[in-house]
Amino acid sequence: MLTDTTFPASFLWGGAVAANQLEGGYDEGGKGLSIQDVMPRGIAAPPTTEPTPDNLKLEGIDFYHRYAEDIALFAELGFKVFRFSVAWSRIFPLGDEETPNEEGLAFYDRVLDELEKHGIEPLITISHYETPLHLARTYDGWTDRRMIGFYERYARTLFERYGDRVKYWLTFNEINSVLHAPLMSGGIWTPKDQLRPADLYQAIHHELVASASATRIAHEINPDIKVGCMVIAMPIYPLTPDPADALKVMQVDHQNLAFSDVHVRGEYPGYFLRELREAGVELDITDADRETLKHTVDFVSFSYYMSLCEAATGGRAGEGNIMGGVQNPTLPASEWGWQIDPVGLRIVLNQFWDRWRKPLFIVENGLGATDVLVEQNGTMTVEDDYRIAYLRDHLVQVREAIEDGVEVWGYTWWGPIDVVSASTAQLSKRYGFIYVDRQDDGSGTLARHKKKSFGFYADVIASNGASL
């Protein structure tokens, strides 16, 4: 039984997006190309050689021009926080040049002005699946140690420019996804099936060092800044009580937990070093790298959409958010096969809190669905009761976890406005409380319409959770 249905007074309610999925303006304001500009079909398909007209991300939902109107809608929802990413190639069009692009920096000044006007706290992701294309092609992304320096210069530029008005920062979106999506997550141009494990692990090491280095730089520039790591959180349950299944779960968990373990503890855990040894991988770790890694994060943030099972002998394959597993026979699933598990969110919050004792921030959670626009009393809307149910059920579990004693700073729903999907690169997989009239063939007026869930979330925020 909950003793109180409201959330802590300081709880940060809001929504989260990424530049490449909503900004558009892919060649405006001096922006260089990013890997997403050549990924018209999402993660499963190989990239194209240049931007093609079928790539919905090139125009996105035109946030680049409509940010003021969209932020006003977020203010109407009552947002306390808005998570967005900076497009690296807006700031450094190639990625390896020395001077930043002033027009790109000025765009985010304007976004921050707008947020400030509405009293919405910004939360910036420095790198969200949008490595400059030049860095991917010329250096093979994070496999190359020089990426650390390029990222440091980029991060320092952001902290110096915005560090006095942005308190919350994330270094890399879903950093553990690099194991599964090396191009999207690591800017690694070599196709996944040709990538040597040694190069992949070295890329991971470079990202971890860059992340720690950015944390150090941020704290030097402004000690009040809070830097977090960001991982995919996906509880894995044993398919059966067989200890072999439980062991398999532990090993899969380790693959994911290693990233936050390094971010929080400042060194590699033993099980990770064992994995490397057994894979015959010898990492190039310098003494300076070891020192840098000691700059640990202030909080742990994560995305949570679903859970999966594992079994030593395998089982029916389950769809996942970038990574897969074995299907859970007890859970329903979204149209894309992601299994819906609100209780898993409480479990993961407890697990992370017990393991790291760092404040937690749920920076993505949401339901992708096919929405149908209907007319109601002369206004266009979507009757998305399925989204309301998903949101309510997950928030109830967040409240349970807070009651368990877990420190949770906030919750940002993924895609409060419809954006282009990361996995499918389409718009028909919608998450928003705000419908955007843009279809998979690129047609549509880009008009915004409030869905039924808009009012529901606004009430939740206004009552600080009491209306749940």
Of the pair 332, 378, the CB lying nearest ligand BGP is at 332
Which residue among 23, 174, 310, 364 is the active-site one?
Answer: 364
CB of 224 to ligand BGP, least distance (A): 27
CB of 57 to ligand BGP, least distance (A): 11
Q: Under a CB-based contact definition with an 8 Å cutoff, are residues 410 and 362 in contact?
A: yes
CB of 276 to ligand BGP, least distance (A): 26
Of the pair 107, 336, the CB lying nearest ligand BGP is at 336
458 Cβ contact list (under 8 Å, min separation 6): 76, 77, 78
CB of 363 to ligand BGP, least distance (A): 9
Write out the DSSP string of 204-269: HHHHHHHHHHHHHHHHHH-TT-EEEEEEEE--EEESSS-HHHHHHHHHHHHHHHHHHHHHHHSS--
Of the pair 298, 319, the CB lying nearest ligand BGP is at 319
- Angstrom distance (rounded) from CA 331 to CA 335: 13
| 395-405 exposure pattern, b = at least 16 Cβ within 10 A, e = fewer | bbbbbbbbeee
> In 266-367, which ranges are continuous DSSP H helix?
270-278, 287-293, 342-356
333 Cβ contact list (under 8 Å, min separation 6): 319, 339, 340
Of the pair 7, 352, the CB lying nearest ligand BGP is at 352
**From residue 141, how far is each of 102, 212, 261, 297 by CA, in Å?**
24, 18, 23, 24
**Residue 400 appears among annotated catalytic residues:** no
Amino acid letter, 208: L
Q: What are residue 237's phi and psi, to 5 degrees?
A: -105, 145
Of the pair 172, 299, the CB lying nearest ligand BGP is at 172
Q: Under a CB-based contact definition with an 8 Å cutoff, are residues 130 and 35 in contact?
A: yes
Of the pair 100, 415, the CB lying nearest ligand BGP is at 415
Of the pair 18, 81, the CB lying nearest ligand BGP is at 18
Rg (CA), the chain: 21
- Give bridge partners of residue 303 from the DSSP assignment: 232, 364
Q: How far is CA 195 from the centre of its chain?
A: 24
Q: How many other CB atoms sit within 10 Å of the CB of residue 185? A: 29
Residues that bind ligand BGP (CB under 6 A): 18, 21, 173-174, 303, 321-322, 364, 368, 414, 421-423, 429
Map residue 364 onto helix, strand or coil.
Answer: strand
**From residue 416, how far is each of 43, 368, 430, 454 by CA, in Å?**
22, 11, 9, 9
Of the pair 64, 338, the CB lying nearest ligand BGP is at 338
30 Cβ contact list (under 8 Å, min separation 6): 90, 93, 101, 103, 104
Q: How many other CB atoms sit within 10 Å of the CB of residue 457? A: 25
Q: Residues with catalytic annotation? A: 364
